Structure 1
């Protein structure tokens, strides 16, 4: 399967800043017809509304709330593409006093949020023969000590994404799992790497990978180091659907 952005309608969570905002810009650059800006704070998208006018629709969406996600999906029945970009990262080591609290919050947003989005939009995406993009991370493949609970949540999200691929493929829905390294956003700056890749490395990579029908995207230089080591395993285990 492959998915071309031109004239499509998209729903992007966390669309107001960072990678999410860059995704919106890339979608319009490649001909998207309309984008739902799915954010918790509807006042945070004013700049995008001024820039794109009636081509964007801000829609209040909190991925940690099943009611909120279901309500948003009910008001976005024309969606062809869902990009679940919203996520949180809390700096927590394995023996930290707050590890259970941090893990619970990150699992609720980063994992349960994906499940809520996928369930809410499954029928719409099947009807429209659409695509689902999940923003995971290289931390889904390798634990980052200072971000242990985030890494755990992204590993779980990646596992769910694999299950969604196998579930949605017979329904004609394309699934793309995106695994960036540190990106020049507020979240990326917290990790403490040196030169960070620009957000459009991710957003433009998503456009290209959807067009090619890929399942995995490692969009930046650090991520590609993971890709080179991981590719054989992915080809022989993940993409063969052995079970």
Structure 2
């Protein structure tokens, strides 16, 4: 388990949506400093928040940040994109871009910050997945989140020797700009951050944020036809 109080954290995509909620909840729980990344960072009025540039699709950007943020002991890989790219008919450039941000981006961050976490006692690496890691029907986005789920499970094994807690987070739709146009029930970002940090502090390896996610996780034991994504509902 990893204590939030007294920690120094890094949140990718930390200036909007779920990332912003993580920054606020970390500070409320006693984190002494939070690096909040964005591709167009805006200064914060809170002196405990350091707004920093990061583009997870560029290795030099990740390594530059790692040189700067050598004091972190919690890393939350939250940055992601949602391109509406079907696998058969979609633009392959969008498919590649989705994987570059949602899969290789978190891997770049993990590679750069694993030695830092080790130097600081182990800490925690949190990767934000989705129920769409398991639910079929969301094209490149779901495929990328499935890949990230597998990547996280392997990272957990590779980082065990340095005592880094690796947490995979799955949730349905959160009430953010990214999914504003999707007519379905949504969970508040503040609730997501609270539930995830509860799991981090309890030492959990996987956090299932909501009931719909728990339903799909249970369906993995059944026929693959049971993993089809239902039609959106208001």
Q: TM-score normalised to the size of structure 2?
A: 0.90
Aligned counterparts of 1:228 and 1:152: Cα–Cα separation in 2: 19
Aligned counterparts of 1:213 and 1:226: Cα–Cα separation in 2: 23
127, 130, 148: which one pairs with 2:119?
127
159, 177, 182: which one pairs with 2:173?
182
Q: Who is 1:220 aligned against?
A: 210
Is 1:197 aligned to 2:187, yes or no? yes
Q: Who is 2:197 aligned against?
A: 207
Aligned counterparts of 1:231 and 1:21: Cα–Cα separation in 2: 35
Q: Who is 2:148 aligned against?
A: 157
Gaps of 5+ in 1: 233-243
Once the two structures are TM-superposed, the CA of residue 227 in structure 1 deviates from its matched residue by 3.8
Matches within 5 A, 1:87-106: 87-98=80-91, 100-106=92-98
What are the Cα deviations for residues 75-132 of structure 1, in whole angstroms up to 9, with x where unaligned?
000001000100001112233241x112100110001101100010011001112110
**Backbone CA RMSD of aligned residues:** 1.5
Matches within 5 A, 1:1-243: 2-43=1-42, 46=43, 49-50=44-45, 52=46, 54-98=47-91, 100-128=92-120, 129-143=122-136, 145=137, 147-193=138-184, 195-230=185-220
Deviation larger for 110-119 or 217-226: 217-226
SS, match of residue 180 in structure 2: helix
Aligned counterparts of 1:58 and 1:64: Cα–Cα separation in 2: 18
Gaps of 5+ in 2: 223-234
Once the two structures are TM-superposed, the CA of residue 231 in structure 1 deviates from its matched residue by 8.5
Aligned counterparts of 2:163 and 2:128: Cα–Cα separation in 1: 20
Once the two structures are TM-superposed, the CA of residue 228 in structure 1 deviates from its matched residue by 4.1
Equivalenced residue count is: 221
The structure with the largest helix share of the pair is: 1
Aligned counterparts of 2:179 and 2:205: Cα–Cα separation in 1: 23
- Residues 183 and 189 in structure 1, CA contact (< 8 A), matched pair in contact too: no
